[in-house]
Chains A and B, each alone.
Chain A
Amino acid sequence: MKMGFKIGIFDEEEKFISSIKSLQENDFNIHDVFTPYPIHEVFHLLKRKSRLPSAAYFIGLSAILATLAFLYYTAVVDWPVVYGGKPFNSFPSFIVITIVLTILAVTIGSLALFSVRSKLVPGRDNTIFDHRATDDKFVIVVDTGKLDKSTAGKAENIMNELGAVEVIDKDFENVIA
């Protein structure tokens, strides 16, 4: 399926933000925006949210339970050994390993979730709308596939008026993201 986009290129953060606002007021469908560094206002405007923190919390919780259960099983059930006259279930000395393994599990787990959810894996070829977005330009991509020419032209005008360096018309066969 062929998809049409208007790609607005900005070189200043303020102009870029006001364009997003104006495009949203005029009910245009912003496919996504691309920036060289994270901008918090963009997250608010596009209502982007991440559930990674809650996922990380549950990974951590299960790691704590799993580690303690494993230590209990090995030290009390499977092969109890007396070390220095201490009880088999010597909980205080299990805490250190539990903390470290929890941190490790949260790190690896949330990294894996990040990779899956953002579709970022080594060698992946996500669609790059404009390669200057990782350098010094702020890029707005408006989905104009279903719009007629004059409405699409209006999006172009908005971006031009608010200080876009250039607005490009581009069609993509399929978008990987």
Chain B
Amino acid sequence: MYNSKIRGPLVEGNKSLGQITREVVSPIETSPGIWWSAALGLSSLATIYGIYAIYMTVYKGIGTWGVNNSVGWGWEIINFVWWIGIGHAGTAFSIFLLILRQRWRTSINRAAEAMTVFAVLCAAIMPALHMGRIWLAFYIFPYPNTRGPLWVNFNSPLFWDFTAITAYLLISVSFWYLGMLPDLATIRDKTASKVRKALYGFFSMGWTGSSRHWIRYESLSFILGGIAAVLVVSVHSIVSTDFAVGVEPGWHTTIFPPFFVVGAIFSGFAMVMTLMVLIRKVYRLTDYITDNHMDAIARILIFISLIMGTAYLSEIFVAWYSGNQYEMFTFFRNRITGDYKIQFWGMIVCNALIPQLFWFRKMRRNWIVLLLVSLLINIGMWLERYTIIVTSLTKDFLPSNWAPYTPTFIDVGVFVGTIGLFATGVLLFMRYLPMMAISELKGVAHIGSKKED
């Protein structure tokens, strides 16, 4: 079915099964060192700033933000779209690559799924706050109520979005947890500590690794993988319709759903790369996350980057070709030139040009380049959302409605807070949960290695 002789071994170092267990479990069993506490401290500080900003937002209202009557969507929606994009890492890795039978995903999918869960949590904070009166957030649930009963508007992309993101979060968590069951049992059976034995024992739900468990586990993984494959494209398509159904110049285009989906996978893969470069450096897991893995992610990034470049060009072309003066103005006078040209060109350079470095093998093998480029891609993706939202809203059809936009201290706080929350989540995950799918690694341990040849 799958032959990886071209790609080289998926796990290097001809490891025995016991060795795989020991090496993956060791970060949980040993104390992590000073860097971990320092990082956790730093991310907790960021989270505290975020909590303060959220408190001010709820206490005083969204007047504390930089948004105004013309620019009704500011940093919070930018960040919402950005986080959801990053949240595509898990689906892209676990499901997209599962369907394509790319078994090299094995050492990466667990961490990617963890990122998805935390990124989607961060994303969900944004629209909830944006409602203004968060204590009425339950109005969005379609339940029989005393207001008519007046139902929510099922034709609105904003409601689709709510449905899609809630479902996405629940499904990602289910998929993540199911995948961890065998590994939690491994820790339960391996650990010497009584507390850990009890805790991991409780959460491993009595997994024994019997053939009856495995057959259902396999079959369930395929059901979930197959059905959730739709989510790779559906979630961000729905997010894009929030924009595309609006009549704002620069938003009202049919390119948006595929453009957003590709962008989401782009930022998801970039974030996975950032995290993997760091994990393999810090935990010395280069035998599991090999140079070949990084190479494969880098190649995917070039490909997606080319699609992004094409999408940017076709947007500009269509704006010109349409002959619509508002579209022309937005693209040529307010993006390529004008007040927001730095953000626009930053986006082009980071997303379409810099990833082309990965055409060179030397660049794909240099961890500093990998780290920098992956960070730049995510900055570029943030700038893309900034460009889309702010340029279209600041200057639309009526010049008397034009208004500038600057974020406030509170806007920045909400963003920094979510970064802190994300980092805290990832750090706790690395410390307390198996970072790689141990049982899956055992299944592919000898693929492509000398033993099999």
Contact = CB atoms under 8 A, between A and B. Distances in A.
By Cβ-Cβ distance, the 10 closest A-B pairs, closest first, are A124-B206, A136-B17, A126-B206, A136-B18, A50-B219, A131-B189, A38-B214, A120-B205, A104-B167, A37-B443
Given A36-B17, A43-B211, A60-B227, A96 B238 contact: yes
| Interface of chain B, main secondary structure | helix
B208 A107 contact: no
A125 to B, nearest CB: 6
Interface in A92-150: 93-94, 96-97, 99-101, 103-104, 106-108, 110-111, 114-115, 117-129, 131-136
A172 B114 CA distance: 39
A103 B166 CA distance: 12
Contacts of B216: 50, 52, 114, 117-118
Interface in B53-76: none
Interface string B149-160: 111011100011
B223 A106 contact: yes
B220 A111 contact: yes
A158 interface: no
Contacts of A111: 174, 178, 220, 224
Contacts of B212: 32, 48, 118, 177
Contacts of B17: 11, 36, 135-136
A154 B238 CA distance: 64
A119 B170 contact: no
Contact of B208 (A34, A42, A99, A106): A34
Contacts of A119: 206
Interface string B178-217: 1001100110111000000000011101111111111111
Interface residues of A, number: 67
A61 B153 CA distance: 24
A97 B230 CA distance: 13
10 contacts: A35-B209, A43-B214, A43-B215, A56-B223, A83-B155, A90-B155, A93-B155, A100-B164, A108-B174, A126-B207
A103 B171 contact: yes
B207 A120 contact: yes
A52 B217 CA distance: 10
Contacts of B146: none
Interface string A62-84: 00000000110011001101011
B33 interface: no
B142 A134 contact: no
A46 interface: yes
Given A78-B151, A104-B170, A106-B227, A48 B206 contact: no
B439 A71 contact: no
> Counting chain B CB atoms within 10 Å of each CB, which of A33, A83, A134, A135 scores highest?
A134
Contact of B181 (A37, A93, A96, A120): A120
A107 B18 CA distance: 33
Contacts of B223: 52-53, 56, 106, 110
A92 B328 CA distance: 32
Given A33-B210, A110-B220, A133-B208, A101 B238 contact: no
B237 to A, nearest CB: 9
B209 A107 contact: no
B205 A134 contact: no
A93 B151 contact: no
Given A101-B167, A117-B216, 19 more contacts: A34-B211, A36-B17, A38-B215, A42-B211, A43-B214, A52-B216, A56-B227, A70-B142, A71-B154, A79-B150, A93-B154, A96-B234, A100-B163, A100-B167, A106-B223, A106-B227, A134-B189, A135-B21, A177-B208
A14 to B, nearest CB: 12
A2 interface: no
Given A71-B154, A90-B155, A35 B211 contact: yes
Contacts of A46: 211
B442 interface: yes
B323 interface: no
A50 B154 contact: no
B205 A37 contact: no
A100 B154 CA distance: 13
A46 to B, nearest CB: 5
Contacts of B16: 136
Contacts of A133: 189, 208-209
Contacts of B188: 134
A90 B155 CA distance: 8
> Counting chain B CB atoms within 10 Å of each CB, which of A107, A115, A120 scores highest?
A107
A32 B214 CA distance: 11
Interface in A6-60: 11, 32-39, 42-43, 46, 48-50, 52-53, 56, 60
B211 A99 contact: no
B148 interface: yes
A56 B20 CA distance: 34
B151 A74 contact: yes
B453 interface: no
Nearest to B164: A100
A175 to B, nearest CB: 11
Contact of A135 (B18, B174, B181, B230): B18
